[in-house]
Structure formats: C-alpha cells, structure tokens
C-alpha cells in the first residue's frame, strides 16, 4: 500500500515530504534521526515543536522491534536451562541488555554467567561476564570496583588474543581513567583500542572510541580537539543510526558548549542527549541528562524547568543509588535556590552537598584501604599455600628416592663395588638435599622480610590517612568556619555589604593559603601512597616563575610586602616543570608568610656550568635555632605566619623531595629576627637555545600603600 505525507512548516520555507512506497514505518524510521530532521528544519520554535512528536511517531515501531528482541532473548534463556556455553552466551547478552535499565537484574545474570564459565573453563564467557559486572558497578558510581573487574577481563583477553575483546576492554579502561580524572592515563588505552578497531574496520566500535577520546580531551580542557573527535563520532553514528551512541556524543558536546558559555547550544545538545537516553531506556543516562539540562536552564534563567528536571533526576537516582549523581544533584540544587534567591534553602542544599562530598571522599579512601588489606591477606595466603605445596613435593620426592636407594642396596648387597657406588650416590644425594633445604630456608626468610615490609607499608598508609584527616578536621575547618560565619551574618543582615567587603582581602588570603595547603597535602598524600613519577622536560625557568608571579604578588601586596625578582633572561633547565612550580610556590609563599608588613622578598638566580641556583630571600622573622633541624626532616613542622597564616607542615618536606628527585639540592640559611634565605639547584638544559625569550623589567607603584612591584 502506497501513501504520501506532506508537511509544510514556517510560512512555506520548508516542505518535509515523507513518502512511503510499499514500505511500512519500521523500515523508514531508522533512516530519519532526530538530529538529521533538526538540520532540515528552519530555526523556528513551531517547527521544533512539530518535529519531536513526528519523530517519535515514526520511531515507535523501531522501539517496539527492540523490545521484541529483548523479549526473544529472555524467552531463549528460559527455554535453555542446560548448563553449557550456549546458556553462558545468552546470560551475558541479557546482562548487557539490562545494565542500563535494572542494575540488580544485570548483576544477577552476570554472576550466574561468571560461575558457570568458571565451572566449564569457558574463557570468553568469563571475560564478558566480568565486563558486564564492571558496567553494573559503573551505574552505582563504584569506579574502583569497575576498574578492577575490567583489568581482570583484559588480562584474560590478552591471553586469549581475541582482537574484538581487546578493542572493547582497552576502550573500557580508558573510559574509567577519564571518569577518575586521569585523562592522560586514559589516552594510551583509547588510542590502542582505536587502532585495533580501525584495523578490523568496525565502524560502530570506532565511533564509540572516537567519542571517548573526545571525552578525555574535555577532561584535559582541550576543547577544540575534543569537538573535532566528537564531530567525527557524530558523523559515524548518524550513518549507522546508532541512537544509543548519539546520546553520549551529544551529552559531551553539551558539556563543551556549557564550559565555553554557549548555553543555547548546550541546551539543544542536552535535549537531544536526553531524548536518545530515554529511547534506549538508559536510566543512568537519563539521570545525567536531567542534571545537565537543569544546570543549563539555571544559566538561561529557566528555573521552573530546571526544578522539574532536578526532581526527575533525584527520583531516578534514588532507585539507582549512585552517590556521585546525588552529590551533583545537591550542588545544582544549591545553584538553583541561589538563583531564586531562596538563600535558606540554598544554605541547606550546600550543607547537604558538603556532607556528601566529605562522605564520598571518606568512603573512597576507606574502600582503598580495605582493598589494600584484603589484597595483602590474599597474597599472604597464596604465598603460604605455595610454600606448603613445595614442601610436600620435596618430602614426597625424598621418600621416593630413599625407597629406590633401599631397594637398590638390598638388590646389590653381594656386590661390594656396587654397594660402595650406591653409598656414594646416597651421600651425594644427601648433600643435595641439605643444599635444597638451605635454599628453602633462605626463601622462607626472604618471604618473611617481604611480609614485614608490606606491614610497614600498611602502617605508612594509615599514617597518611591520619595526617589527611587531621589537616581536614583542624586546619581546613578554621577558614571555612570564618567564611561561614560572615556569610551567616550577611544573610541575616547583621552586617551590610560594605562591612562584609572589609573582610574580603583577609578571606581571600586565608582561602588562597588553604588552597596552597590543600595542594601540598594532596601532592604529599599521592607521593606517599602511590608515588609520583618524575616527568622531566626542557623549560624556561624565568617564564615559569612569571606565570606564578601575579598571584603571589597579590598575596604580598595584601600584607604590604615588597616582592620582586632579578631573573631578566631566559634560563633553560631540564626538570619536571610541575614539581619545580610547586617548589617555587612553597618557598615564595613561606617567605611572604613569615615577613611582616614593610618587609621584602627577593628571588635571584645564578647560572653555573651545568646547574641553575635559585634563591628566595626575605628579611622576616627567621627560624628559631632550636627548630632549624626540623625544617627538612620527616617531622612535619608548621608555625603560624606574621598574620596567623596556617600551614600543614608539608611544603618544605615536599619541596626537598621534589628537588632531589630532579637531581638537585636544597638548603637554607636563617637567623632569628633578620630573615631567611632558601636556595636550590636544578640541572640546566643541554640545549640552552630552545625557544629563547627576552624579558623586560617593569616597576609599578601600588595605588594604596605605595609598595613598589618589580615585574618582568
């Protein structure tokens, strides 16, 4: 049966003609995607309102067809109770189908597939079961459990050598690193996945991985590169009519539009993403889409729809139990209530957000410590089992050999020569056994030393945890409590805005010091718990200092301290720039901290044959002689500054560690009451002419207190 539809929109500017010639709607619907129709229509609100119902009318048979496929899989699974590889494959397909709709059902099917695969030694089934269970953990926000399960699956796939599995699992590992805010670690896995998929010419999988590379570049804040990859992914997914995949792509495009303040484009992309997530029945995706829409609508002033989307997100997330989404919900709810000037509700939302943020942080650290202890116990038991098995084999071998020797001696008793030979062989064998026994004793001793070292490592981890909690509970709460108190007074109109501004400089300085302290603490904790790899490179030390100088200059100006440097030419060094930036920041910030108003802080540099020596000198309070031995030790020493600035006592210890990691040395000279000077060295670059720059010194007078500022 043939029939014709014609729709004329927006004063005749576009006629959309959908012709059905001996076909039904299920066949034509897959060729018309919502983004394609959007691009065909003029930018008229009326056209868009007509388009969306028309699109879903055409799509409904395709959705019904997908539901039929799902029902067919479940029917096939019920009809095949035999515990064989066919059932394992059906279990994995059903688990993959349910993970975005019902995580508990997906987990149930995945666990049955894993147990059955183990019993049948069916490696492909075990790999896909582990991957499905990892996806279930992702819907709950448990990224560390997802990473462990995915890595286990990847190890099995590498042994199996199946390219399709390797492409999918490398892609998954890259995704998890991106969500863990480690995009630089994610990119090697994603690009390896892309190479495998391009070699196999798997267009659908290629589109997924290109989309994920775009996500990694978003996390790196390289938005042009991210948009390039996302547009490539969009093109592939539109060609394949991959509606499930388009939801992720448009969500990422909406995120880029938001951070670049193109809120109208962001709203359009997130609306597309939301519609695709709903079509696919992807509940975690729908939650994210509602949160994204609410945040954009707040920026556009549409608080009514933002409130509605937030309520929808909370209702769905209460079923999923994703702690991270709940944290984001209260953050956006705080922004919405602030936009509506409902400050009491905004304060309650912010308090709920802060409490959940702390709980989320504590839960993550607790899980890491628990996993470390469990892993240690498991490895310990495994080593003990290996030792026991080796001892049993040794005893059995010894008994068997002794039997052979006794029988041989009895059989050859009459032949003295042969008896002598056998006795000699017995003696030699005993010597070998004694030697083996000594070797085993040495191995046991070595294992004991390893166990003691691991116990020491666990104790150090507990010390790291205690130090972090101590800083959070004591040093970080004070500036936040002051800020909270002032905001409370301002909210209750007990002080007016002009009085509040009197405290802004002091608050800004406290917050900045707190930020530096937090940066030091996090760097130290990372160094203690997993180590920080040195990434040396050639860079201009003068340029690095200039980039940090403005912020430090502001801190000095607020204390009426004169801050200046004499680096008037490029100094090319070879070191890790991020580590050296933190060393400079700590030394200069400490000098400002312990220099009273009217004092000065000077930064100088001397270049030798193969090293550069940098000195930060002040004329502040100096360091008491009885405390100077504690400056670079493992004893975390901290005192308040001239205006009661606080620290966590980690800055100088961390600076010493970073300088020595970069083949340098650090030292200081200090006299109480006359000031201190801290110096450190770093290697010069072998090619000193790399990207040379000239620097100009500018002298500025502070408009308020007349402090002179030297700039390059």
pLDDT confidence tier of residue 62, bands split at 50, 70 and 90: very low
Rounded to an integer, the average pLDDT of 298-302 is 90
Name 467's Cβ contacts closer than 8 Å, sequence gap at least 6: 521, 524, 525, 636
CB atoms within 10 A of CB 634: 6
pLDDT the model gives residue 12? 33
Question: Chain-wide mean pLDDT for the chain?
Answer: 78
Range with lowest mean pLDDT among 31-40, 192-201, 455-464: 31-40
CB atoms within 10 A of CB 362: 14
Beta partners for residue 699, in sequence order: 710
- What CA–CA distance (Å, rounded) separates 413 from 160? 57
pLDDT the model gives residue 128? 94
pLDDT the model gives residue 385? 74
Of 492 and 269, the structure prediction assigns the larger pLDDT to: 269
- What CA–CA distance (Å, rounded) separates 562 from 599? 6
Q: Is the pLDDT at 35 greater than 50, yes or no? A: no
CATH topology of domain 531-711: Heat Shock Protein 90 (3.30.565)
**CB 107, CB 92: distance < 8 Å:** no
Q: Is the pLDDT at 570 greater than 50, yes or no? A: yes
Residue with tokens 């034509």, as numbered in its chain: 28
Q: Is the pLDDT at 532 greater than 80, yes or no? A: no
**Start-end of H helices in 161-282:** 163-179, 183-200, 203-219, 223-240, 243-259, 263-280
Sketch the domain layout of the chain as residue ranges: 176-240, 242-341, 365-475, 531-711
Residue with tokens 């009661």, as numbered in its chain: 644
Q: Is the pLDDT at 371 greater than 60, yes or no? A: no
- What CA–CA distance (Å, rounded) separates 334 from 321? 20
Q: Nearest to residue 581, comparing CAs of 525, 543, 629?
A: 543
Q: Is the pLDDT at 596 greater than 60, yes or no? A: yes
**CB 685, CB 543: distance < 8 Å:** no
Structure tokens at 60: 């409904």
Q: Is the pLDDT at 170 greater than 60, yes or no? A: yes
- What CA–CA distance (Å, rounded) separates 582 from 604? 17
Percent of the chain's residues with pLDDT above 70: 71
Looking at residue 685, the DSSP 8-state letter turns out to be: P
pLDDT confidence tier of residue 30, bands split at 50, 70 and 90: very low
Q: Is the pLDDT at 526 greater than 70, yes or no? A: no
pLDDT confidence tier of residue 506, bands split at 50, 70 and 90: low
Instruction: State phi, psi for 608 to the nearest 5 degrees.
Output: -100, -155
pLDDT the model gives residue 133? 93
Longest dimension (CA), the chain: 121
- What CA–CA distance (Å, rounded) separates 507 from 517? 15
Rounded to an integer, the average pLDDT of 608-627 is 92
Residue with tokens 């002051």, as numbered in its chain: 482
pLDDT the model gives residue 121? 93
**CB 525, CB 501: distance < 8 Å:** no
Residue with tokens 């006794």, as numbered in its chain: 406
pLDDT the model gives residue 116? 93
- What CA–CA distance (Å, rounded) separates 307 from 295? 10
pLDDT the model gives residue 453? 74
Q: Nearest to residue 209, comparing CAs of 232, 241, 227?
A: 232
Q: Nearest to residue 316, comparing CAs of 293, 272, 286?
A: 286
Burial class (CB in 10 A: 0-12, 13-18, 19+), 220: middle
> pLDDT tens-digit profile of 179-219?
888 899 999 999 999 999 999 898 888 988 999 999 999 99
CATH topology of domain 242-341: 1.25.40
**Start-end of H helices in 12-78:** 25-28, 34-40, 45-78
> pLDDT tens-digit profile of 680-702?
999 999 875 545 444 434 334 44
- What CA–CA distance (Å, rounded) separates 179 from 143? 8
Rounded to an integer, the average pLDDT of 64-76 is 71
What is the residue-wise DSSP string for 556-606?
Answer: HHHTT-EEEE---B--EEEE-HHHHHHHHHHHHHHHHHT--TT-EEEEEEE
Burial class (CB in 10 A: 0-12, 13-18, 19+), 120: middle
Beta partners for residue 540, in sequence order: 572
pLDDT the model gives residue 630? 84
Angle between helix 243-259 and 223-240 (nearest 10): 160
Range with lowest mean pLDDT among 168-177, 381-390, 467-476, 480-489: 467-476
Range with lowest mean pLDDT among 113-117, 216-220, 437-441, 504-508: 504-508
Q: Is the pLDDT at 418 greater than 50, yes or no? A: yes
Q: Tell if the pTM clears 0.75, that is, is over it.
A: no
Q: Is the pLDDT at 554 greater than 90, yes or no? A: no
pLDDT the model gives residue 21? 30
Of 498 and 242, the structure prediction assigns the larger pLDDT to: 242
pLDDT the model gives residue 372? 55
Structure tokens at 670: 């200090």
pLDDT the model gives residue 268? 92
Secondary structure, 3-state, 322-358: CHHHHHHHHHHHHHHHHHCCCHHHHHHHHHHHHHHHH
- What CA–CA distance (Å, rounded) separates 406 from 427? 13
pLDDT the model gives residue 537? 92
| C-alpha gyration radius of the chain | 34
Rounded to an integer, the average pLDDT of 630-654 is 73
What is the residue-wise DSSP string for 260-310?
Answer: TT-HHHHHHHHHHHHHHHHHHT-HHHHHHHHHHHHHHHHHTT-HHHHHHHH
pLDDT confidence tier of residue 32, bands split at 50, 70 and 90: very low
- What CA–CA distance (Å, rounded) separates 673 from 668? 15
DSSP helix/strand/coil, 18: strand
- What CA–CA distance (Å, rounded) separates 640 from 646? 5
Percent of the chain's residues with pLDDT above 90: 31
Q: Nearest to residue 271, comparing CAs of 51, 30, 9, 8?
A: 51
pLDDT confidence tier of residue 323, bands split at 50, 70 and 90: confident
Rounded to an integer, the average pLDDT of 538-544 is 93
pLDDT the model gives residue 393? 82
């Amino acid at each position: 049966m043939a029939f014709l539809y014609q729709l004329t929109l927006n004063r005749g500017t576009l006629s959309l003609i959908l012709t059905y010639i001996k076909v039904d709607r299920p066949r034509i619907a897959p060729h018309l995607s919502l983004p394609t129709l959007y691009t065909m229509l003029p930018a008229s609100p009326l056209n868009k309102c007509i388009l969306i119902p028309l699109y879903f009318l055409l799509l409904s048979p395709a959705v019904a067809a997908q539901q039929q496929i799902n029902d067919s899989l479940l029917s096939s699974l019920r009809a095949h109770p035999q515990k064989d590889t066919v059932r394992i494959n059906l279990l994995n397909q059903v688990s993959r189908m349910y993970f975005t709709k019902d995580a508990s059902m997906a987990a149930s099917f995945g666990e049955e597939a894993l147990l059955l695969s183990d019993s049948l030694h069916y490696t492909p089934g075990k790999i896909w079961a582990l991957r499905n269970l990892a996806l279930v953990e992702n819907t709950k926000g448990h990224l560390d459990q997802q990473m462990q399960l995915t890595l286990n699956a990847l190890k099995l796939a590498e042994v199996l050598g199946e390219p399709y599995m390797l492409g999918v699992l490398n892609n998954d590992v890259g995704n998890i690193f991106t969500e863990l805010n480690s995009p630089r670690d994610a990119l090697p896995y994603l690009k390896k996945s892309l190479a495998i998929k391009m070699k196999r010419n798997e267009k659908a999988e290629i589109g997924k991985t290109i989309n994920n590379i775009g996500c990694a570049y978003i996390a790196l804040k390289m938005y042009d590169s991210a948009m390039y990859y996302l547009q490539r992914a969009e093109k592939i997914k539109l060609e394949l009519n991959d509606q499930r995949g388009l939801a992720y792509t448009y969500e990422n495009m909406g995120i880029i539009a938001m951070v670049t303040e193109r809120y109208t484009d962001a709203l359009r992309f997130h609306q597309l993403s939301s519609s695709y997530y709903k079509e696919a029945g992807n509940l975690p995706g729908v939650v994210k889409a509602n949160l994204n829409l609410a945040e954009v609508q707040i920026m556009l002033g549409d608080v009514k729809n933002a409130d509605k989307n937030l309520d929808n997100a909370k209702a769905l997330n209460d079923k999923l139990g994703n702690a991270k989404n709940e944290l984001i919900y209260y953050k956006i709810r705080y922004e919405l209530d602030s936009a509506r000037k409902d400050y009491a509700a905004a304060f309650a939302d912010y308090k709920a957000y802060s409490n959940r943020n702390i709980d989320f942080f504590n839960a993550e650290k607790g899980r890491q410590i628990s996993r470390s202890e469990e892993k240690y116990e498991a490895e310990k038991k495994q080593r003990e089992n290996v030792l026991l098995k080796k001892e049993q084999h040794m005893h059995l071998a010894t008994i068997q050999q002794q039997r052979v020797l006794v029988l041989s001696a009895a059989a050859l008793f009459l032949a003295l020569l042969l008896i002598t030979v056998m006795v000699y062989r017995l003696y030699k064998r005993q010597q070998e056994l004694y030697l083996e026994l000594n070797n085993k004793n040495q191995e046991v001793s070595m294992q004991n030393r390893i166990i003691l070292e691991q116990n020491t490592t666990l104790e150090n981890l507990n010390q790291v945890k205690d130090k972090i909690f101590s800083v959070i509970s004591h040093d970080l709460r004070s500036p936040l409590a002051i800020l909270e108190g002032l905001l409370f007074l301002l909210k209750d109109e007990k002080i007016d805005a002009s009085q509040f501004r009197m405290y802004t400089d002091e608050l800004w300085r406290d917050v900045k010091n707190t930020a530096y302290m937090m940066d030091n603490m996090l760097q130290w904790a990372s160094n203690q718990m997993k180590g920080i790899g040195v990434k040396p490179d050639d860079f201009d030390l003068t340029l690095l200092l200039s980039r940090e100088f403005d912020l430090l200059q502001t801190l000095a100006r607020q204390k009426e301290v004169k801050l200046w440097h004499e680096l008037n030419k490029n100094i090319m060094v070879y070191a890790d720039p991020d580590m050296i930036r933190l060393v400079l920041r700590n030394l200069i910030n400490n000098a400002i901290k312990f220099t009273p108003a009217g004092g000065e802080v000077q930064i100088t540099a001397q270049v030798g044959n193969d090293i550069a020596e940098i000195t930060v000198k002040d004329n502040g309070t100096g360091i008491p002689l009885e405390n100077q031995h504690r400056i670079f030790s493992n004893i975390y020493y901290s005192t308040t500054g001239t205006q009661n600035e606080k620290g966590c006592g980690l800055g100088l210890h961390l600076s010493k560690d970073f300088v020595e990691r970069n083949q340098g040395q650090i030292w200081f000279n200090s006299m109480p009451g006359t000031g201190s000077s801290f110096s450190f060295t770093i290697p010069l670059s072998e090619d000193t002419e790399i990207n040379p720059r000239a620097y100009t010194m500018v002298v500025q007078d502070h408009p308020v207190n007349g402090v002179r500022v030297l700039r390059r």
